[in-house]
């Protein structure tokens, strides 16, 4: 029972970190607008860039990454302490070694879902790519750096953020399966990568149709990307 309670706490922590609506707050604070009514209608850094400019977008990007990092760090440190305090008998080091990766897995899924389906925005939000990068960096920095490198290279060549995010998610899945990682971490990255790709399904349709806008240029279908 104690384990279920602590795991639920980890889920709530992850979700609340993720659901903090960074891009929405930037729109309200800087221009008094609801960013979900502009551009792609996403609250992510790319739409902030198109709507508010590069410096607000950079801040939103950094904060969204830190949401993922923070959720994993807090759960990894706080939940074992809470588990130790609430358990009738103190858990052994082996117990924690087995359970903590699963707690991290659940929190990682929750933070991604929270970013994409924020309770503060009637369960709308962003695509979770930046927050997913934060989760990767906090969970397994080699996997995170590999995904970030692919994102940067593809973005520099193609200048299409959605394509860069999708390929970075696929790279993370390949790397986490190739490196020696706990099973919960592998499941998290596979599930999270698939979730990020699904969140880009409208972008995939435009990529296949050749209408996806590049950085610095808005395509004719930019407003068609409604969060569903």
120-177: per-residue pLDDT in tens? 999 999 989 999 999 999 999 999 999 999 999 999 999 999 999 999 999 999 999 9
Predicted confidence at residue 217, as pLDDT, reads 60
Give yes or no for a contact between 17 and 132, defined as CB atoms under 8 angstroms apart: no
Residue 77 buriedness (CB in 10 A; 0-12 / 13-18 / 19+):
exposed
pLDDT exceeds cutoff 60 at 221: no
Encode pLDDT of 56-93 as tens digits.
999 999 999 999 999 999 999 999 999 899 888 888 88
Give yes or no for a contact between 60 and 22, defined as CB atoms under 8 angstroms apart: yes
216: pLDDT confidence band, cut at 50, 70 and 90? Answer: low
Average pLDDT over residues 88-112: 91
Predicted confidence at residue 215, as pLDDT, reads 80
């Amino acid at each position: 029972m104690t384990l279920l309670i602590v795991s639920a706490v980890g889920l709530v922590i992850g979700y609340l970190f993720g659901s903090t609506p960074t891009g929405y707050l930037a729109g309200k604070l800087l221009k008094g607008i609801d960013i979900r009514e502009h551009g792609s209608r996403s609250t992510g850094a790319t739409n902030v860039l198109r709507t508010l400019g590069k410096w607000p977008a950079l801040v939103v990007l950094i904060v969204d990454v830190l949401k993922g990092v923070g959720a994993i760090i807090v759960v990894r440190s706080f939940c074992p302490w809470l588990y130790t305090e609430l358990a009738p008998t103190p858990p052994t080091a082996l117990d924690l070694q087995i359970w903590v990766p699963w707690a991290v897995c659940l929190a990682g899924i929750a933070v991604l879902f929270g970013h994409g389906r924020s309770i503060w925005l009637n369960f709308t939000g962003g695509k979770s790519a930046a927050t997913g990068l934060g989760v990767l960096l906090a969970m397994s920095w080699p996997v995170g750096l590999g995904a970030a490198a692919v994102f940067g290279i593809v973005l520099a060549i193609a200048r299409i953020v959605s394509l860069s995010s999708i390929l970075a998610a696929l790279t993370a899945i390949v790397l986490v399966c190739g490196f020696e990682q706990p099973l919960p971490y592998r499941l998290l990255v596979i599930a999270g990568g698939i979730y990020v790709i699904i969140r880009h399904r409208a972008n995939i349709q435009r990529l296949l149709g050749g209408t996806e806008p590049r950085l610095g240029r808005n395509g004719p279908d930019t407003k068609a990307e409604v969060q569903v």
